Amino acid sequence: MNCRVTSDPVELKIIDFSVGITGTSPICYNTSTTLTANITPATGTGTPATGFTYAWETSADGTSGWAPVAGQTGATLNTGALIAARFYRVTATVSGCQGKGVSSVFQVSVEPQLTATVGTLAAVCQGATSVNLPYNVTSGAPNRYSIASSNLPGFVPVNLAALPTSLFR
């Protein structure tokens, strides 16, 4: 007697992928940015398109002292307000597999804090259409400025205008 059992074919899917990080760098002093983990499946694999979890880590120097970013398991990470450069890396996992492992390190650089003082403004006569506003930059290298006023009738706010190369305007 020759007994045999025949089953339906079984497909074996190999999960293999790499993960990278994209985001904005540099950023302004004391602001945040959003980083995104990007999955790249290896050619010819059965890596799923969804279902990944992420473990984000951060370091002050990018080589040691890596610490988990608590509560961050999604594909995006908001850095929170930064006042100095930080380094980030991420490990993605799907179906128990980590693909090629941890991503390359992504550095978020932070521009220096800007410090400027505005000089004394001389009296402005009724009907004046322009005024010289002296200023002095003591740290950083600003290239834009904004001016707002809540008590000048007819004043048009200035928002992110190009800063002249001269230190006085």
Full-model pTM: 0.74
Please list, in sequence order, all residues whose beta carbon lies within 8 angstroms of the beta carbon of residue 110, skipping any fewer than 6 positions away.
26, 27, 28, 29, 82, 83, 84, 85
Q: Which residue has the tokens 């074996």?
A: 12
Q: Which two tokens stand for residue 57?
A: 């880590």
pLDDT in tens, 91-144: 999 988 998 989 999 999 999 888 888 888 777 777 777 777 788 887 777 777
pLDDT in tens, 21-53: 999 999 999 999 999 999 999 888 888 888 999
